[in-house]
Structure 1
Amino acid sequence: MKKPRKCAVTSPPADKVFMPHAAYLMVREAVITDAMIDLLIETVHKIKTKSKRKVVNEIAKDLHRVSGKERLLADIATASIDDPSGRICDVIYPIAGKDKLAAIIKENRAKGAFDRQIYSVMRSSWASHYRRMLPNLLATLEFRSNNSAWRPVLQAMEWLKATLDEGSRVVSPEAVPVEGVIPAKWRGSVRDNKGRVNRISYEICVLTQLRERIRSKEVWVVGADRYRNPDKDLPQDYEKRRSAYYAGLKLTQNARDFTASVRHELERELLLLNDTILEND
């Protein structure tokens, strides 16, 4: 009886073992990073839309819209000119009663304070619930930008990260980036009567601006895939092989020729639509 032959068991080379794992981990890191950014974008959007919906519903309940205000104003102006020395109760109230005038004032004030009301609800929602995610967000995601115009947003993120444990409620406006971070319509709500910046309100401004800049790829995230550095969207040898890439796409490098071809295509499609629109079901 033959003895079984011994087979030598050899381990595969280290590069064949670790390289697939490394590639898998890189892909998974990018997927997870993208998912976190999606969550950030959706959360900020959700805070704003829910706040706006709440404010609109409250205004709709409390406010009776006054129709025909222009005609009413003209009637009041005419009556005032006809009897300039008359009393309001004798000249104005027969045209527009006290209740109607009060409704007009309330509607006007509600319109002027609409953005401030939305911001107030956003601030309350952020402070009471969503704010707890900020430390993990700052510790995990690393934001970058190739556009110097949006550096204030990144500087604001760095300031939030550096002062996370300070616990200060208000800060001096000189201590934080303001231009490019706090929208003009919110500045009255972010600053107090002494000009100091409320930290929680400032956080909302920063995240709102960050969301918009990420969506437009003005700000990108290290380790992400869909939100990666936009410079990497082009081939790395693009400058050297620019003509070859344009030829492969059958595109001209002349901007005027390109726009002319697009215009010609649009005109052709519009003419086709015009000729067939009556036959469309």
Structure 2
Amino acid sequence: MSRVPWAATALCWTRQAELVDGLVELLIGLIHRINARAERRGEKELIGQLAAVPGKRGIFTKMVNAALSNPDETVRQVVFPAVPGGEKTLRALAKELMATERVVAERIRYQLRGSYSHYYRRMLAPLLAALEFKCHNTAYRPVMDAIELLARERIPYELCVLIALKDALRRSEIYVEGAWPLA
């Protein structure tokens, strides 16, 4: 008879650890999905806009072909003459591409905030409340403090904290009480 309570306790502890591990994996997966989905949606919207710029594709084609046909020559001797407008056009394209990078990053942040605030935020709050995070590494104390502030802070702050939490959980710098200890 004395073995039954011990076996039941061990089974319950094992099952609890499995459930907590599953919740941690769900949390990591959700945070990753929020970010990846926002990137895909933001880039997809902007790629259509980039393809519509007239003449850009032809300029790039001429530039690449000139560079490939004369690989030992200098850029000034080969690429500039191949591009209509030469160096001035290339500088304008570079400026436009850098502006486009900024627009892509802004669009991704917009998508991230929108999908998080309208959908994922409602799911993550109870999930975070169900888990008890612990950390022995003082470098991650700010993430632990930030987790406590999530309920009272604004969405961009929440997103930054969640991404830092995901990374720390993956590296086992922060762990969840009751989960399987990592080897």
Do both proteins adopt the same fold according to a TM-score greater than 0.5, normalized to the shorter chain? yes
Q: Which digits, 9 at most, give the CA deviation of each residue in 1:41-85, with x for residues without a partner?
A: 1111111111111122122111037324973598245xxxxxxxx
**For 1:220, what is the secondary structure of its paired residue?**
strand
Q: Does 2:112 correspond to 1:122?
A: yes
Within-5 A mapping of 1:14-163? 15-64=2-51, 66=56, 67=60, 68=63, 71=80, 72=83, 75-76=86-87, 106-161=96-151, 163=152
User: Structure 1 pair 73/39, CA: closer, same or farther in 2 (3 Å)?
Assistant: farther
Within-5 A mapping of 1:183-202? 199-202=154-157
Q: Write 1 or 2 for the structure with the bigger share of helix.
A: 2
Q: Name stretches of at least 5 consecutive residues in structure 1 with no aligned partner.
A: 1-11, 78-95, 164-170, 172-198, 234-281
Q: How far off is 1:123 after superposition? A: 0.8
Q: Which digits, 9 at most, give the CA deviation of each residue in 1:89-144, with x for residues without a partner?
A: xxxxxxx5xxxx6x765433211232222121111001111111233123211111
Choose from 202, 207, 220 the match for 2:162.
207
Contact preservation (8 Å) 1:44, 1:207: yes
| Identical aligned residues as a percent | 31
Q: How far off is 1:17 after superposition? A: 2.8
Q: Which digits, 9 at most, give the CA deviation of each residue in 1:235-266, with x for residues without a partner?
A: xxxxxxxxxxxxxxxxxxxxxxxxxxxxxxxx
Q: Which digits, 9 at most, give the CA deviation of each residue in 1:196-239, with x for residues without a partner?
A: xxx011111111110011101111111001xx3x5xx3xxxxxx
Within-5 A mapping of 1:232-243? 233=183
Normalised by the length of structure 2, the TM-score is 0.75
Q: How far off is 1:21 after superposition? A: 1.2
* More relative contact order, 1 or 2 (CA 8 Å, 6+ apart): 2
Q: d(CA) in 2 for partners of 1:20 and 1:76? A: 77
Q: Corresponding residue for 1:259?
A: none
Normalised by the length of structure 1, the TM-score is 0.50
**For 1:224, what is the secondary structure of its paired residue?**
coil
Query: What amino acid does structure 2 have at the position aligned with 1:219?
Result: I
- Measured on the aligned residues, the alpha-carbon RMSD in Å equals 2.5
Q: Matched residue pairs, number?
A: 157
**For 2:178, what is the secondary structure of its paired residue?**
coil
Stretches (4+) displaced over 6 A:
none
For the pair shown, the structure with the greater C-alpha radius of gyration is 1
Q: d(CA) in 2 for partners of 1:104 and 1:139? A: 47
User: Structure 1 pair 73/210, CA: closer, same or farther in 2 (3 Å)?
Assistant: farther
Query: What amino acid does structure 2 have at the position aligned with 1:223?
Result: G
Q: Name stretches of at least 5 consecutive residues in structure 2 with no aligned partner.
A: 65-78
Contact preservation (8 Å) 2:46, 2:104: no
Query: What amino acid does structure 2 have at the position aligned with 1:145?
Result: C
Contact preservation (8 Å) 2:27, 2:124: no
